[in-house]
Amino acid sequence: MKIHIIGGGVIGLCSAYYLRQAGHEVSVIDQGDFSEGCSFGNAGMVVPSHFVPLASPGVIAKGLKWMFQPSSPFFIKPRLNISLLQWLWQFYRACHPDRVQEAMPIIRDLNQGSKELYDELSKGLALPFDYESRGLLMLYRTPKGEQEELSTAATANQIGVEARALTPSEVQKLEPDTTVNTLGGVLYPGDAHLAPHQFMSALVNDLRQSGVTFLPQTQVKTWQTSKGKVTHLLTQHKEKIEVDQVILAAGSWSEKLLRGLNIKMPIQDGKGYSVTLPEPARRPTLPSILSEDKVAITPMGKDLRFGGTLELGGMSNAVNPNRVKGILSALPQFYPDLAIPYQQNLDIWVGFRPCSPDGLPYIGPSRHIQNLTIAGGHAMMGLSLGPITGKLVAEVIDQKKPSVNLSLLHPERFA
Ligand SMILES: Cc1cc2nc3c(=O)[nH]c(=O)nc-3n(C[C@H](O)[C@H](O)[C@H](O)COP(=O)(O)OP(=O)(O)OC[C@H]3O[C@@H](n4cnc5c(N)ncnc54)[C@H](O)[C@@H]3O)c2cc1C
C-alpha cells in the first residue's frame, strides 16, 4: 500500500519505520527539513515512570498558583480563544479520579511496549543514539515533594511499574561524580534515556536506506476529498500530491489541519525550553526530574541537557527569560555543581508539546475519512511513546489486532 505521512517528528518517523517494516511504500512530508522541532531538542527521557496523565486531581490548583509566579514551570497566556477555552474545560473534566484510573493502565502499557521497542531499536538501527537503560531518579527537597513522590511510587508498584524509594545517601551513592542535595528520591529502574536528535538522525538514515521518500520544505495546506476519502494533499507551492492512505502526525499543528476536514481534535501547544551544556566538568550520570520545580536533567553523551516549563501561549517562538531563569535556579538546589548563570549566549531551545486535554494520545483511524489515520497529542511523552505509536499505526493500517487497547485513544473522542 502507498502511504503518505504528514509530519516528520518522532511520531511520523516511527510510523514510517514500522509501516516500511510491514512492507508498505512510504513517503514522509514535512514543512521543515527533518532536523528541527519538538522531537529534536527534548529531554530525551523514555519514561515508563510517567503513567499518571497530565490531567489529574490536584494539578489545576497547582497550575493556578504557578500562573502568578513569573519563573514558575507553568503558564497560560490569558486570551479569549475558543479552542483554548474548550480545551481547558475538557482538561478540567479529565482531572476526575475515575478518568485517571482508566487512563493509567493504558499509559503504562504504551510506555512499557515502547521501552521494549527502544531496546530493540538500540540494536537494530545502524547509527547509535546514546541510548542508556539505567533508570530515572525523581528527586525532592521538601516534605510535600516527598509525600507526592512516595505516593506516586506506591501506585507505581501497585500497577506493575517498579519504583524504589531512596534515602539521600542512597541517591548520592548512585552519583559518585557530583554532589546531590535531596530529602530523598525514587528510582524508576525501568526508564531509559537517549539523545533525541541522534535518534531522529538514526531513523532518517535507516528510512532512507530502506527506500522511504522524504519531502522536505513541503507544507500541507489543505485536503481534497471525494466520497469520504482524501484524494489529494495541497501544498503551499500549490502542488497536488495524490494519496492512497494518509497518516496525520503533525504534532501541535494537527488540530488546525484537521479543521479542513471538519474533524475536531483538541490540541494545545505546550511550549517548553531546553538548554544544553557542552561537556560540564561535573555532572550527574543518571537522568533526573526535580519534583517541586518540574525540571528534567539528562546526560547525553558527554553533554548535559535540562528542560522544563509548560506554557500554553499560542505558538510563539519567543523565549521568556524568566522561565529559563526558573529552570536554571532549580539546578543548584539539587546539584550544587550546576550553578549556571543566565547569559545571552546560552543554547536555549524551544519546542511545542502537542497536548491533548485528557493526557492521552490520539491514535487510530478517523471515523469520518476512510483513508486517514491519526497519531498525535503525546504531550510530554512523545519521544517515549514514538516506537509503540508507530507500531500501532502499522497495525491499524494492516487491520491487525492492536498491541495496546486503542478504545480510549480514539482521535475523534472529543467530537
Ligand atoms: C522541553 C521539552 C522536553 C521534553 N522532554 C521529553 C522527554 O524527555 N521524553 C518524552 O517522551 N517527551 C518529551 N517531550 C515531548 C516530545 O518532545 C513531544 O511529545 C514529541 O516530540 C512530539 O512529537 P510529534 O512527532 O507528535 O510532533 P513534532 O515533533 O512537533 O512533529 C510534527 C512535525 O509535523 C510537521 N508539520 C506540522 N504541520 C505540517 C504541515 N501542515 N505540513 C507538513 N508538515 C507539518 C512539523 O514541521 C513537525 O516536524 C519534551 C518536550 C519539550 C518541549
Q: What is the pLDDT of residue 183?
A: 98
Q: What is the pLDDT of residue 65?
A: 84
CA of 166 to the centre of ligand 1 (A): 33
For ligand 1, atom 12: residue with the closest CA: 381
pTM value > 0.95? yes
Locus of grid cell 506506591 = 154
Ramachandran class of 227: left when φ > 0, alpha when ψ lies in -120 to 50, beta otherwise: left
The alpha helices in 252-346, defined as continuous H runs, are: 254-259, 321-334
Work out whether the CA dihedral 376, 382, 384, 390 comes out positive or negative.
positive
Q: What is the pLDDT of residue 347?
A: 87
Give the separation between CA 236 and CA 219, rounded to whole angstroms: 6
Identify which of 341, 322, 321 has the alpha carbon closest to the alpha carbon of residue 331. Answer: 341
Q: What is the pLDDT of residue 136?
A: 98
User: Given the CA of residue 351, which atom of ligand 1 is nearest to it?
Assistant: 53
Average pLDDT over residues 195-210: 98
Q: What is the pLDDT of residue 35?
A: 94
Which residues, at least 6 apart from 232, have a Cβ–Cβ distance to it below 8 Å? 223, 224, 240, 241, 242, 243
For ligand 1, atom 51: residue with the closest CA: 42
Q: Provide the CB-side half-sphere exposure for 252 (13 A, CA).
A: 20
As a three-state string, the secondary structure of 165-180 is EECHHHHHHHCCCCCC
* Domains within the chain, CATH numbers bracketed: 2-409 (3.50.50.60)
CA of 341 to the centre of ligand 1 (A): 28
Among 39, 45, 254, 258, which residue has the most ligand 1 atoms within 8 Å of its CB, making it the best to mutate? 39
CA of 337 to the centre of ligand 1 (A): 31
pLDDT confidence band for 344 (50 / 70 / 90): confident
Work out whether the CA dihedral 141, 343, 301, 121 comes out positive or negative.
positive
Q: State the average pLDDT for the chain.
A: 96
Read off φ and ψ for residue 133, nearest 5 degrees. -105, 80
